[in-house]
Structure 1
Amino acid sequence: MSEPVAGKFLLEILTKGMYSNPMHIYREYIQNSADSIDKAVEEGVLQPAEAEIHIFIDDKERNIVIRDNGLGIPQDIAKIKLMNVGASDKDGVTERGFRGIGRLGGLAYAEKVQFITSALGDATKTIMTCDCVRMQQLLQKSNNETSDIMETFKAISMFDEQPEDAAKHYFEVRLIGVPKESGLLDEEDAVRYFAETAPIDFDSQQFVQARKIREHFSEKGFPITCYKILRGARRKPIYKLYSRSMTTGKQERTKTKDYVRDVEFIYQEASDGKPLYIGWLAITDFSGVISDEAVQGIRFRKGNILVGNGTTFAKFFPSEGHNANRMFAGEIHVLHDELVPNSQREDFEPSAVYNEMRKTLSEWAGSINKKYRRGTSEATSALRNLTKLNEEQKELEEKIDSGAITSDEKREQIAERLEKIASSREKEEKTVRKALERGTFDNERKETVEKALSQTETATKKVTALNTKIVNAGYATKNDLPSSYSRDERKLYQRIISVIDTYFTDDPKTAEELREKIKTELSVKKK
C-alpha cells in the first residue's frame, strides 16, 4: 500500500485560498518582521531604537519590497528553513506567527517572489526565488508533472548565494510582477492598511491621548510593543490613524466632528489569575456613527497587530451590535496565551478562555453603551438642539422687527412657530440639565453647557413679550404701495398677500419673493 500524500493543491489553499483580502499578505510579512526584530533585540544583535521595517511599493515597475533589520536566517540553515511549510519553530505565545505558512501568501499575487536573508557574521546572503507563474501551471488539474505539495514547492524554488557584508542582518521579501488589479500597488491604500493593522505607534502630535494610553499600559506592566515602519525612499513613518477628533455622521450634509476629550481604561484577569486583556476607550461627544472606517469600532489586537477588523467586536454588544460598535473607538489588547488568533487572523480560536473573555467584554460593552452611547449621545443632541432653538427664536424676533407680519395668516404662522420653539426648548433644556446633574458632561464642556443654559433662560423670558409684539404688530404691507393707490386698491393688495402667505405656508421664502416681485411691479402706478 502506498503512503498517504499531502496533495499539491494544498499549495493553492495556503497561498490564494488563505486570505479573503490580498492586503492580508502585508500583515503576514510585517508579523514575521516583528518576530525577527524581537529575536535580534533579545540576542543583543540589535538595539530597540535601531529596529525598523521598510516598505517600498513601485507601482510603475509593479514591485514590492518589505525589509527588516531583524535577526535574519544563518546561511547554514537558510535553505531548510525557507523550504519548510507549516513547520515554524515559533512558540505561538511570545511570538505573533507560529504556523509557518504566512510567508507563502505572496506567491498568489506576483510573477516571482524572492526571500533574501543574511545573519550577523555571515559573509553570504541566501536568495530563494519562487516562480509563481510556474506554480500556477503545475497547479492546473490537467498537469501531472508533480503530485504532492513539497514536490511542487521544490519545482518552483531556486536558491542562490551571493557575497554580503558580515555586519548586516536582515530579511527581505520581494514581490516581482504584482498585478495591478490585486490592489497591492496602491500605496495610499496599503499605508492605510498598515495604519489599521500593523504593530505601530500613535502619532502623538495628532492624538493627544497617546501619552496617557502608553503610560497606563506601562504602569500596568503591559507596554505596547511598537515597531518603526517606514515607507518609500523618504522613509516616512506610518502611524495609527487616531487623532484628536473624529468625523461622525453618515451623510455629507449631516457630518460633524466629535473631539476625543479623554480615554477610559479597562483591565481584566482570567479565572486562572493570568492577565486576560487590557484596553482603552475614546471618550467623545458620541454624537453619531464614526465615519472613518479606519478608526471606527472597538478593535482587538494581539501583539499590537489587529485581529479581525472594525466590526469584530460588534457581537459583544448585547443589542444593536454593529450600530453600537460604530459609535465607539478604542482597542482591546489581548494578553492571555490561550487566546490565539485563528489561521486567517479574522477572530480567535474557540476556547474556555475565549468564552470567559466574551462574557466579561459583553458586560462591559453593555455598560458603556448605556453610559456613553445612549446617555451622552442624547445629551449632546439636546445641547445642540437647544442652541439651535435659541438661535431660531433670535432670527424670528429679527424678522418680526423687520416687518415679517404681512397678513393675519402670517401673524398666526409666526405665533405658532414661536410656541413650538418654546415647547421644544423646554424639553431639550430638561434633558441637558439632567445630564449636567449626572455628570455626563466633562469639565471641558461644562462652560459651553452653562452658557447655552444661560442663553436659554434669557430667550424663555422674552417669549411673552414677543407674543405681545406679534399680536400688536401692524401689517408690514401698510407701506408697500405708493400713496397714489386708493384704499380699496390697498385692501385688494393686502388680500393678495394674505392668499400668498396662506398658500405658501411651508415655503415662506417663496412667499416673500412673490411679495417683493409684486411690490416692485406696483411701485409705480400705471394709468
Structure 2
Amino acid sequence: MAEAAHIDDEGFDDAEIFVGKDVLELLSSSMYVNPLSIFREYIQNATDAVDDAVAAGLLASSNDGLIEINLDHIDRRVVIRDNGTGLANQTFARRMLSFGASDKRGTDARGFRGVGRLSALGYVQQLVFRSRAKGDTKVLEATWDGRVVKRMLASNDRDSDLRSIVREAVTLKRLEPDDYPAHFFEVELIKPRRIANDRLLNEIEIESFVSQVCPCPFSPEFSFGEEIADLLSQHGRAGKAYRIHINGSEEPVYRPYRDHVEYSDTKRASLRSLKTFKIESIDGEPAAVGWLIHHDYQGAIPAAQGVRGLRARVGNIQVGHDRLFLEIFPEDRFCSWTIGEVHVLDGRVVPNGRRDEFESNAHLDNIIAHLRPVGAEVARECRVSSQKRNRLKTFELAADKVYEKLDVLKQGAISDRFAKSIRAEIGTLLSEMRKAVEFDLFEDVDRRAMRSRLTTIEKAVDAHARKAEGDIFEHLPERKRATYKEVFDLIYDCSVNQVTAKSLIDRMLDRLSRS
C-alpha cells in the first residue's frame, strides 16, 4: 500500500483555513427546534451579566438584578434588556463578532459556547445588540441584517465565507448615552416572523415558556416554594432566581407551581407533601439535588399546567422537556403524573449545544441510576392512588345504589317477594361499602369521612325497616292489587336504570289514583 506523501510545511497559511457560510445558518435558524428558545438564550446571558454585576459590586445582590422583556405589537419589535455589567466599549466589537468563543468557558456561568447570541437571527429582519459598561461614554450598537444574511446564504457563491457575510451584514455604531442606563445590555428583535400564533410576540406563550424554563422565583401561592428555595440556596447558581418582567408588569414572572393542579374545569388536585433528595457523584461529591411533590395522582397532568414531569435544570435553567428523564419510570405514563425537578450540580454533566439533552457520559448515567428509585416511588404512589380511587368509586356507587333501592322500597309498589330481594341487595351493597372503608391505604381523615357517611346510610336503612308504610293500592279493588304489583316487579326487573323505572311507575300510580 502506498504511503501518503509528507507535507514539509511547518503550518497552514490563513488562505488554507476556510469557514463556510453555512456555519452561520447552523448557529441561527437551525440551532433550536422551538423558536421561543431564543428567550432562554438571551435571559441566560442576562442572568450571567447580573451575577457579574453583583461580583463587581455594581449590584448588591441578584435580587437587584432586573431583566425586562418589552413587546411592541404595532412596530413588531422585542427588546430584552438587563442591568448587568454590560460590555465595555473596547471589547464590544470583538465579543459581538466572535463565534463559539465565549469568555465564560471554564467558569460556572450558565452559558459558555458563545453561539446563543445569534439564535434569533433566522427569525427576524434585523437583530440589534446595544451595550455599555460602567464608565463608558458611548453606547455601542451592532446590527445584523437578517435579510442580507438570508440572501447570501441562499446564493450559490461557493467562495463566500463567514467573514464575507459578517462584513456585509453587520453594522457597528456609536450612540450617545441619552436615556440609556449606566451599565446594561440589550438585544432587539426587529420584525420577527409570524410563527404559529405569532409566538415571538405572543405575551401569553412567552410568559408560559419563561416561567417554566428560566430562573424565575417561586410564586407566593406555592406553599412549598420557600422550603425548596432554602434547599437550592446552598448550591450557588442553582438557587438563584431573578426578576423578569414582561411589558412593565408590576409582578415578575413566577414559576408555574401552585398549591393545586387543574386537571379540568371541574377537577383539581391539591399538592400534598414535599420530598427532597440529594445525589452523589461517582467520586462522592454533590452531583444533583432535587425535589418531588406528592399529590393524589389522578392521572396525567395536562401539559398546559406547565408543571408535569421530573424536569432537569442546570444553573436553575431547564434542560430539555418534561420527559427528559422518562427512562427512570417503570411505565412511561407515570412521567406525566409527576411534579418535581433535578438540579444538576456536577460540572461534568453538560447540556448539549441545543440544551435539549445532556451529553452522554458516565456522570450522567450515575445521576440517572440514582433517579430510578425516585421513579419507582412515583409509580408506587400512582398505583396506590389508583387503588384508592377504585375503592372510593366502589363506595360511592354502592351508596348511590342503596339510596335508589330505598326509594323503591319507600314507593311501596312492589310485591313482598321482590321487596325481600331488594333488601338482600341492600345488605350486599352495605357489605361492599364496609369492605371499602377498611382499605388499609386510606388516610385516616378519608376513612373517618367514609365511615361517617356509611353510618348515615345504615341509619336510613334501619329507619325504613322500622317504619310501617301505608298501602298505596288501598283505593283499588283487592283482586287487582297483586296484578299491579307483578307488573311493577317486572318493570323494575327488566329496567337497566331503576331511577327511570321508578319515575315511570310514579306516573302510572298517579294516573291510577285519579282513575
TM over 0.5: yes
Q: State the TM-score, normalizing by the size of structure 2.
A: 0.87
State the number of aligned residues.
Answer: 497
Letter in 2 for 1:176: I
Counterpart in the other structure of 2:370 = 360
Letter in 2 for 1:323: R
Instruction: Kindly report which structure 2 residues correspond to 1:307-456, keeping only aligned pairs within 5 A, or say none.
Output: 307-317=319-329, 319-320=330-331, 322-370=332-380, 372-379=381-388, 381-382=390-391, 384-385=392-393, 388=396, 391-392=399-400, 395-396=403-404, 398-400=406-408, 402-403=410-411, 406-407=414-415, 411=419, 414-415=422-423, 417-431=425-439, 434-435=440-441, 441=443, 446-456=444-454
Shift of 1:412: 6.8
Q: Distance in 1 between matches of 2:509 and 2:91?
A: 95
Q: Distance in 2 between matches of 1:23 and 1:57?
A: 14
Letter in 2 for 1:362: R
Q: Distance in 2 between matches of 1:112 and 1:404?
A: 83
Deviates more, 1:186-195 or 1:219-228: 219-228
Deviates more, 1:452-461 or 1:144-153: 452-461
Residues 1:479 and 2:488 aligned together: no
Identity %: 28
Q: 2:311 aligns with which of 299, 306, 318?
A: 299
Deviations 1:321-367 (A, max 9, x none): x3112222111111011011111111211111111111111133224
Q: 1:265 aligns with which of 270, 276, 279?
A: 276
Shift of 1:427: 3.9
Shift of 1:79: 1.2
Counterpart in the other structure of 1:515 = 505
Shift of 1:45: 1.7
Deviations 1:10-66 (A, max 9, x none): 212211111111111111111111111111111112222321100112233322111
Contact 1:270-1:276 at 8 Å conserved across structures: yes
Letter in 2 for 1:217: L
Q: Distance in 2 between matches of 1:55 and 1:236?
A: 13
Deviations 1:353-410 (A, max 9, x none): 111111111133224433x22335534653x337625743662475256326535786
Matched residue SS, 1:515: helix
Q: Distance in 1 between matches of 2:234 and 2:54?
A: 22
Counterpart in the other structure of 1:214 = 229
Residues 1:15 and 2:28 aligned together: yes
Q: Runs of 5+ in structure 2 lacking a partner?
A: 1-12
* Structure 1 residues 407 and 194, CA gap change in structure 2 (3 angstroms): farther
Q: Distance in 2 between matches of 1:407 and 1:156?
A: 94
Counterpart in the other structure of 2:4 = none
* Structure 1 residues 452 and 390, CA gap change in structure 2 (3 angstroms): farther
Q: Distance in 2 between matches of 1:405 and 1:220?
A: 74
Matched residue SS, 2:117: helix
Letter in 1 for 2:52: K
Counterpart in the other structure of 1:164 = 177
Counterpart in the other structure of 2:209 = 193
* Structure 1 residues 430 and 490, CA gap change in structure 2 (3 angstroms): closer
Contact 1:197-1:305 at 8 Å conserved across structures: yes
Counterpart in the other structure of 1:80 = 94
Instruction: Kindly report which structure 2 residues correspond to 1:172-183, keeping only aligned pairs within 5 A, or say none.
Output: 172-182=186-196, 183=199
Q: 1:29 aligns with which of 36, 42, 48?
A: 42
* Structure 1 residues 344 and 494, CA gap change in structure 2 (3 angstroms): same
Residues 1:279 and 2:285 aligned together: no
Deviations 1:243-286 (A, max 9, x none): 111134xxx58x63222222111012212132100111112223
Matched residue SS, 2:185: strand
Contact 1:75-1:119 at 8 Å conserved across structures: yes
Deviations 1:419-468 (A, max 9, x none): 5523432442332xx226xxxx4xxxx334334345446756887x58x9
Shift of 1:291: 2.8
Residues 1:123 and 2:132 aligned together: no
Shift of 1:96: 0.8
Deviates more, 1:80-89 or 1:485-494: 485-494
Q: Distance in 2 between matches of 1:113 and 1:452?
A: 63
Contact 2:351-2:358 at 8 Å conserved across structures: yes
Q: Distance in 1 between matches of 2:57 and 2:412?
A: 81
Letter in 1 for 2:360: P
Counterpart in the other structure of 1:155 = 168
Matched residue SS, 2:256: coil
Contact 1:229-1:238 at 8 Å conserved across structures: yes
Matched residue SS, 2:438: helix
Contact 1:261-1:284 at 8 Å conserved across structures: yes
RMSD, matched Cα: 3.0
Counterpart in the other structure of 2:244 = 229
Contact 1:241-1:294 at 8 Å conserved across structures: yes
Instruction: Kindly report which structure 2 residues correspond to 1:17-96, keeping only aligned pairs within 5 A, or say none.
Output: 17-48=30-61, 49-91=63-105, 93-96=107-110
Counterpart in the other structure of 2:488 = 497
Contact 1:390-1:455 at 8 Å conserved across structures: no
Q: Runs of 5+ in structure 1 lacking a partner?
A: none
Q: Distance in 1 between matches of 2:156 and 2:211?
A: 42
Matched residue SS, 1:84: coil
Matched residue SS, 1:10: helix
Q: 1:202 aligns with which of 214, 218, 229?
A: 218
